[in-house]
Each structure stands twice: as C-alpha cells, then as structure tokens.
Amino acid sequence: MLRRAYGNEAMCRATCFEWHARFKRGRTSLEDDERSGRPSTSSTPKNVETIRWLVHEDRRRTIKEIAAIVNVSYGTVQTILTCDLNMHRVAAKFVPRLLTPEQKEHRVAICEELRQRALDDPSFMSRIITGDESWVYGYDPETKQQSSQWKSPESPRPKKARQSRTALKSMLIVFFDIRGIVHHEFVPQGQTVNAQFYCSVLRRLRENIRRKRPELWRAGNWLLHDDNAPSHRALATREFLAHNNVTTFPHPPYSPDLAPCDFFLFPKMKLQLRVADLTGWRTSSGNRRMCLVSFENRTSSTRSSSGNGAGIGVSLHMETILKGMLPKLKSGTYILVYRSSMGTFCSPLVCGELALEEALDLS
C-alpha cells in the first residue's frame, strides 16, 4: 500500500516493521537519537581558559590573533568566544568626556540631593527655571529616520543626495520651566557669550519672570539651573546672582544628560526645525512691498494665535509679526519666519541689527 501511494520514495518492508516496533514501545519522535560523535580535541577546558585569559589581557584582540596564539582553528575560537564564554564584540560608545571616579561620585551626590529635595518639597520642581544656549542653523538636513519611507519589494530603494547644514547660524538662549518658555533670545551676530553678556541676559530673564511668573517673583523662591559653562560660573555672574538674591543649585561637570535643555528641549526643537518651512520676506526700497519666497515643508503645521506658549514660538499671526517688524527694518533687510509644528517665530539670522525683543512683545 505504501509503495502504491509513494512509489520509490516509500520505506522498505523491514524499515516499516522496525518503526512500528519503536512506536509500539512508546516512541513519539521521528528525529534521530543523539549520538556522541567524534570527540572534540580543540574546545577543551584548557583552551577555553587560555582564550578567556587572552581576552581579559587585551579585549581588542581579534579572532585571528587568538587562533594563532592558541594554535587552533578560527571557527573553534569563534565558538568558544560566543558559546562557551558568551561574549560578542562591540564598538566603544562615544561619550562627551570620560569622568573621573570623583566626578562620578559628585554626580551621584547631586542627583540624590535633588531627588530628596523633590520628595521633601512638592513645589520644588515648579520653582525651577533652567536654561542653556544652542546653535540654530538656517538649514539643517533631515535625519535618517525622517527620510525613511515605506516601500514594497518591487519598488526601488529611495535615494537622497548628501547635504550639509548651512553656515548661516545663530545662537539661541532659552529659559523654561514646567509651564513653558519664560525667556528666549538670539545672540547678536559676532557677540560672544561671556560673563558680561550673560549677566545682561539674566537681567532680561528676571524681567520676564516678573511679567510671566508673578507668583514666583513675589515669593522670590524661584531657582535657577544652568550648566557649568565658563560664562555661567564666572565671578561677575556669581556676583550678579548674589546681589539679586538668585538661588542656584549645582550641576555636575560634563553632564549634558542631566540638563533638561540638552536632553529634552533642544533635541525636540531641532527635530522640528530640520528642513522646516522657511519663508523669507524682503522689504523693497520703494514702497516696502513684500515678496514671498517659500520653501514648503511636507509635514509643517502652523500653530494658531490661541497657542499656549509652551514651545519656542510667537503666538501671533504672520501679519501681526510683519506689522511689528517692518517699521523697524531698513530697506533690503531679510526676515526669516519659521513655520513648524512648534509654532511660528521670527529668527534674526539675517535681520541685521534688529533684536527680537525690540520687534515683538513675546508676553
């Protein structure tokens, strides 16, 4: 019957009787039984320990180097490393700076102190105003994740040309708390953020706190948090903070992962500004007519005037923005108006001597 059904592929009569007897004895598997095979002469405990010692002595040794030292095959060394020693080769992780043991202990001490203060005082987090500086580029190419797209097996892989960020850039200074942006401004072109300039920024920050956070201003219990940049820790800055009774708390050295601007605000802001909808307005020399040059963005969306002010933006219509800026501009001046999902705001990247706080009321 089996030969009639399967032809030449059917088992012989003796094999059928043998498997019948095995199933009758209780066998349920069709797989072959395990056999001892040829004993291994290379993966011995001695070789495993030798390779372990060689790797611990120099973790950058290659499999070829280890195989030449131990005098075994490449595959044997690879099997010992991956199976017996459970190791795999990885590249070193890039970090801004390698911390000393003292700096690591200082990080832990500061984090524990801040955590305890947050547990003891429920209003601690709401009283913190943190800030930092960052470069904002006129054009920043999209990331690899942003350019990814779905494709079918038949469609070709998408391509894009290599691009670089523009040399046109401006430094942005931002201070914010848990409710949103308290103060932001662009550093004038050619200006260095030294102690003197940073003190002037702090004066404008105090004025914005008085206008935007009156309860914190009246209580006088707001806390300033910034990193350890030279201008932030200069003697003139410390004297200014002490003179105005501004309370600060320490920041661990070389720890951008503990600065909210570095790990939260700036990455999210720059992700939205990559290949943003950039609209350039130019005032003509005669009757100040405006010409629109638009670089459309596939994913851009403009926040309306009812925005809550939580992003780096100006909660105004574009007409209001231009109405406030045009009287202060010279003929032939370019105005850059960013329109992204974080809102609409004017950038003084090429606005000449015009300062953002002089053109718009950001309250």
Query: pLDDT per residue over 190-217, tens digit each?
Result: 899 999 999 999 999 999 999 999 999 9
Same domain membership, residue 126 and residue 252? yes
From CA 334, how far away is CA 281, in angstroms rounded? 6
**What 8-state DSSP symbol labels residue 355?**
-
Extract long-range pairs of 291-298: CB within 8 Å, 24+ residues apart.
297/339, 297/340
CA angle 316, 318, 323 (to 5 degrees): 95
Each residue's pLDDT tens digit, 61-93: 999 999 999 999 999 999 999 999 999 999 888
SS3 string, 251-277, reads: CCCCCHHHCHHHHHHHHHHHHHHCCCE
**What 8-state DSSP symbol labels residue 205?**
H
Of 158-162, 243-247, 252-256, 307-311, minimum mean pLDDT range: 307-311
From CA 199, how far away is CA 193, in angstroms rounded? 10
Q: What is the pLDDT of residue 275?
A: 57
Of 7-21, 212-226, 297-311, minimum mean pLDDT range: 297-311
Same domain membership, residue 249 and residue 127? yes
Same domain membership, residue 234 and residue 192? yes
Percent of the chain surpassing pLDDT 90? 37
Q: Which residue has the tokens 């547990």?
A: 119
Dihedral-angle region of residue 124 (phi above 0 means left; psi in -120 to 50 means alpha; beta otherwise): alpha
Nearest C-alpha neighbor of 157 from the set 146, 168, 148, 167: 148
Beta-bridged to residue 345, according to DSSP, are 338
Range of the domain at 358: 276-363
In a domain, 154, yes or no: no
Q: How far is CA 363 from CA 21, 29, 97, 181, in A?
A: 90, 77, 39, 10
Same domain membership, residue 350 and residue 241? no
Same domain membership, residue 51 and residue 192? no
In a domain, 116, yes or no: yes
Of 121-130, 147-156, 212-221, 222-231, minimum mean pLDDT range: 147-156
Among the candidates 266, 300, 323, a domain finishes at: 266
Q: Residues 113-140: what's their mean pLDDT?
A: 89
Q: What is the pLDDT of residue 346?
A: 44
* Maximum average pLDDT range among 105-119, 261-275, 333-347: 105-119
Burial (CB count <10 Å: 0-12, 13-18, 19+), residue 345? buried
Confidence band for 130, pLDDT divided at 50, 70 and 90: very high
Q: What is the pLDDT of residue 343?
A: 42
From CA 341, how far away is CA 313, in angstroms rounded? 10
Among the candidates 266, 298, 331, a domain finishes at: 266
Same domain membership, residue 243 and residue 130? yes
From CA 159, how far away is CA 339, in angstroms rounded? 26
Nearest C-alpha neighbor of 261 from the set 129, 359, 162: 129
More confident residue, 165 or 295: 165
In a domain, 84, yes or no: yes
In a domain, 324, yes or no: yes
Confidence band for 39, pLDDT divided at 50, 70 and 90: low
Percent of the chain surpassing pLDDT 70? 74
CATH classification at residue 199: 3.30.420.10
More confident residue, 316 or 14: 14
Q: In what order do the strands lie in the sheet with 223-225?
A: 180-186, 169-177, 128-137, 223-225, 247-248
Helix orientation angle between 45-57 and 63-70, rounded to the nearest 10 degrees: 130
In a domain, 155, yes or no: no
Residue 334 in contact with residue 281, Cβ under 8 Å?
yes
Q: What is the pLDDT of residue 87?
A: 93
Same domain membership, residue 131 and residue 52? no
Residue 312, pLDDT > 50, answer no
Residue 57, pLDDT > 70, answer yes
Same domain membership, residue 183 and residue 66? no
Same domain membership, residue 134 and residue 240? yes
Of 135-139, 181-185, 270-274, minimum mean pLDDT range: 270-274
Confidence band for 157, pLDDT divided at 50, 70 and 90: confident
Nearest C-alpha neighbor of 107 from the set 262, 253, 3: 253
Q: What is the pLDDT of residue 325?
A: 46
Same domain membership, residue 256 and residue 108? yes
Nearest C-alpha neighbor of 301 from the set 347, 338, 264: 338
Same domain membership, residue 189 and residue 296? no
More confident residue, 186 or 272: 186
Q: What is the pLDDT of residue 31?
A: 80
Q: Is the pTM of this model over 0.85?
A: no
In sign, the C-alpha dihedral spanning 213, 215, 217, 220 is negative
Each residue's pLDDT tens digit, 266-283: 888 887 777 554 434 333
Same domain membership, residue 310 and residue 346? yes
In a domain, 215, yes or no: yes
Nearest C-alpha neighbor of 213 from the set 173, 177, 240, 265: 177
In a domain, 328, yes or no: yes
In a domain, 87, yes or no: yes
Residue 309, pLDDT > 50, answer no
Residue 26, pLDDT > 90, answer no
Q: What is the pLDDT of residue 92?
A: 87
Domains: count for the chain: 3
Confidence band for 28, pLDDT divided at 50, 70 and 90: confident
- CB-based contacts of 255: which residues, under 8 Å, 6+ apart? 107, 227
